[in-house]
Structure 1
């Protein structure tokens, strides 16, 4: 009896530790002393969790060598970094985040990972609501003359992005018969309200993405004429995309409240790429571009010159692909794009073979991650975003499951022979 109680207690402590790490993976605003403490604790917790599951983790790591190679390139960029101190400091956090994502894939199924993220979402929604109403001086800030909610996060875009992401989690719970659908629906509505209060246009797009992507899951579940239905859906999607592109200027200016240069993003992207082409193959080193003098010309020639940039919180190009390029050059960017396409291919195949709702969530997340990185902060290989941890977990989870499916198919074909 004592052994069962001890085992149960350790299991609950493990789950609490994982939720703690996922929650603080985002840019939560806390006093500096608390931030330092949570950072130290996070390293200790990850080491402890990995030490218990190291054999399983070692096996899972072999299922996706490309991602391991990409992380190694990030680590070895200390040898050509333009800002060695910043690279060394952030590389440690990169390894921690990547290993933690690997641990999640080794320890929990995709459905269990969704449950863990649901708890993180509940805690986030509760605290953002409390802080926003009770301490508006902390939970809100003025951006472009408009009061916007940021809750417990550093910026309205961070809260908006995370609330938009939670839509994919709660939507899956609404569709899953094993979950409390009404509770998930209420959480979805509250996250939408917080998203609206944040005035984050990007967050709203991220919120709508899983809702509009839902018909894809209906198509996947159809056993008969699935290819024809999918072809029809792709055709409709292409027509809608063409209409959006034709009317892009009107949509951007009138509905998203941005100019055709996306609030100065395009000049920023062009200037950043030009600087990146000065070191095209290996880049400036992981997390080294915006913390060094290399970014001076970009800041001087774009709207960044009007910003009060905190050296302890470096800026970024508002595009994950471009930021990855200036950090790790064509080598890192091409390897990541190859890996991203590989993971998408793997997840889509698993989705059609299993038709599991959790696999559909993995598919949705990959789309959300690309969407966020197209015009917002970088989450690719980022040490201050839960998105990289989830991406790593999905990459390894899908690799393990795909390998198992192929093994079963091989055994079945041999038995039939």
Structure 2
């Protein structure tokens, strides 16, 4: 069992996009061999995870516990039929199925074990990032001309370090709260916060502030729901008023903060992407079929956007591009179901909130081998299994109350 736990941490660590992307990136170590090693490594992970899942559970029965994910995977697998690059769509779809197997494997562990895995993963990212910043600053700190000496640690971009540090702060906060421990969580939370600030990732910093506001509300909701809902509506009123003031004084506020109103060019990009979505609204362009540089549909975007993006910088637009409104509807139904199931699960709810907010500005949805999609699959199947067990227990109590009472007296 210890070996399986270590394997789970290794899976999550590499899914954060740590080390390998930095080793193979042109502005990192630029070691080309890692471009070939990484896919082979993940295939090995898939095989090991599949063997372990088969040993621990009935794979078919587990998959059937959440049919929405299966339907989404089916659409993605078939999308090679209308993709401009069918071979790429097939290969990427297979990697996505492998990622599903990884999610199933992690879902076989308890919630406490999953939190511990995230703690170990976060700790490795924090320690190694600090090590790289101290001893390999030429790789761990981005050039001044691009990102003003922002820290990226063991990752290929500052935004990736930022979001991983937010997850680290979230995981350690929940761990400390549940286990009534202060010293070690405090050390890692402070270290993660320092790395987050030095990453200069505005999106991740904003996300942390939102989670900091919601965390006490989620805790309060479990005890005093009416009070929590009242506070929520009060905060929403404040946010609405602040939004109105921002819209009235957007130019002045942006100038004061040293930012531009296009969110670093994102809004201009989103307008063009929305136009492209409406050209293939039902099924999209196929999985991984849109962003093909000047050789694919993305050439229209590149002709109008000088910085040549390779993704939408918005998870929901990315889903629409690849799977159309059909895929977006399936994912939305899955997400809403999870929100309902997680209403009494503080940690799962915060993870879902993290995914919901972060994907308004970056893309981490329905991607192979990515930390956040793996976690989404894990909690999806974890909560589906938990809900089914509770449902069975409830039906047994309803149908045979006397039998249960008799057994409890023995």
Change over 3 Å in CA distance of 1:331–1:284 after alignment to 2: same
How far has the Cα of 1:145 moved from its partner? Answer: 5.3
Match of 1:21 in 2: 11
How far has the Cα of 1:254 moved from its partner? Answer: 5.6
Contact residue 163 and residue 207 of structure 1 kept, 8 A: no
Contact residue 123 and residue 168 of structure 2 kept, 8 A: no
Q: Give CA-to-partner distance per residue, 1:198-229, whole Å, 9 cap, x none.
A: 1111111222233211222332332xxx3421
Contact residue 164 and residue 205 of structure 1 kept, 8 A: no
Match of 1:8 in 2: none
Q: Say whether residues 1:393 and 2:378 are aligned partners.
A: yes
Match of 1:126 in 2: 127
How far has the Cα of 1:57 moved from its partner? Answer: 3.2
Q: What SS is found at the alignment partner of 1:149?
A: coil
Change over 3 Å in CA distance of 1:301–1:47 after alignment to 2: same
What is the distance in 2 between the residues matched to 1:274 and 1:394?
34
TM-score after normalising by structure 1: 0.87
Change over 3 Å in CA distance of 1:256–1:407 after alignment to 2: farther
Structure 1 residues 256-335: aligned runs within 5 Å: 257-291=258-292, 292-302=295-305, 305-307=306-308, 315-335=310-330
Contact residue 22 and residue 386 of structure 1 kept, 8 A: yes
Change over 3 Å in CA distance of 1:256–1:47 after alignment to 2: farther
Change over 3 Å in CA distance of 1:24–1:256 after alignment to 2: farther
Match of 2:241 in 1: 243
Q: Give CA-to-partner distance per residue, 1:83-137, whole Å, 9 cap, x none.
A: 22321231122111111111111x2012211101111111110111011111111
Structure 1 residues 126-205: aligned runs within 5 Å: 126-142=127-143, 144=146, 146-177=148-179, 180-205=181-206
Change over 3 Å in CA distance of 1:244–1:94 after alignment to 2: farther
What is the distance in 2 between the residues matched to 1:14 and 1:231?
41
What is the distance in 1 between the residues matched to 2:359 and 2:376?
13
Q: Say whether residues 1:343 and 2:338 are aligned partners.
A: yes
What is the distance in 2 between the residues matched to 1:181 and 1:68?
41
Change over 3 Å in CA distance of 1:221–1:133 after alignment to 2: same
Change over 3 Å in CA distance of 1:197–1:188 after alignment to 2: same
Q: Say whether residues 1:50 and 2:50 are aligned partners.
A: yes
Structure 1 residues 217-228: aligned runs within 5 Å: 217-222=218-223, 226-228=224-226
Change over 3 Å in CA distance of 1:126–1:255 after alignment to 2: farther
Contact residue 70 and residue 335 of structure 1 kept, 8 A: yes
Q: Which residue, 59, 67, 70 being the options, matches 2:69?
A: 67
* Count of matched residue pairs: 384
Change over 3 Å in CA distance of 1:248–1:103 after alignment to 2: farther
Contact residue 49 and residue 101 of structure 2 kept, 8 A: no
Match of 2:227 in 1: 229
Q: Give CA-to-partner distance per residue, 1:281-325, whole Å, 9 cap, x none.
A: 1111101101142111112112xx234x6xxxxx11110100110
Q: What SS is found at the alignment partner of 2:150?
A: strand
How far has the Cα of 1:246 moved from its partner? Answer: 1.4
Match of 2:106 in 1: 104
How far has the Cα of 1:67 moved from its partner? Answer: 0.8
Q: What SS is found at the alignment partner of 1:294?
A: coil
Alignment gaps of 5+ in structure 2: 24-30, 403-410
Alignment gaps of 5+ in structure 1: 1-10, 310-314, 352-358
Match of 2:114 in 1: 113
Contact residue 149 and residue 197 of structure 1 kept, 8 A: yes
Give the aligned CA root-mean-square deviation in angstroms: 2.0
Change over 3 Å in CA distance of 1:18–1:269 after alignment to 2: same
What is the distance in 1 between the residues matched to 2:239 and 2:48?
47
